[in-house]
Structure 1
Amino acid sequence: MQFESFTEFLNMGGYAFYVWLSFGVTFVAMAMIAIQSFIKHRNLMKQVVVEQERKARIKKARLQQQGSM
């Protein structure tokens, strides 16, 4: 479909409200998914670091315990 002017394009043949609302809802949903994914990734990486630090403390404690025996 070709439009005569940019205003006609924005009007979308009288269906502008529905067309632009659907674009807006889609954009918001995709943005929420991207933000949620970013937050989950960041939290997962924090958990990985905490787990690695915990394992390092356990290993250090075991080595100290074996050295004192």
Structure 2
Amino acid sequence: MSFSSFADFLAMGHHGLYVWSAYGICLVVLVLNVAVPLLARKRYLEQEARRLRRENNQ
């Protein structure tokens, strides 16, 4: 499929809203699949460091 202009490319033959929202949702899911475990790991390590400091101070 070839497009005569960039605007036609974005419109995707009047299916642009569907196409670009699908790409957007996919991108959000991929980013979350990376970010959520990283944040959970960081939170876990912080909790363990606090627990170890608490145990060492007793």
TM-score (norm 2): 0.69
Q: Does 1:19 align with 2:19?
A: yes
1:23-42 deviation digits (Å, cap 9, x = unpaired): 11112222333331232021
1-structure distance, mates of 2:48, 2:34? 21
What is the root-mean-square deviation in Å for CA atoms of aligned residues?
A: 2.2
More helix by share: 1
- How far off its partner does 1:20 sit? 0.8
Higher RCO (CA-CA < 8 Å; seq separation 6+): 2
Aligned to 2:43: 43
Percentage of pairs with the same residue:
25
Q: Does 1:7 align with 2:7?
A: yes
2-structure distance, mates of 1:3, 1:9? 6
Where structure 1 has 5 or more consecutive residues not aligned to the other structure, the ranges are 62-69
Runs of 4+ off more than 3 Å: none
Q: Which amino acid aligns with 1:18?
A: Y
Q: Which amino acid aligns with 1:47?
A: Q
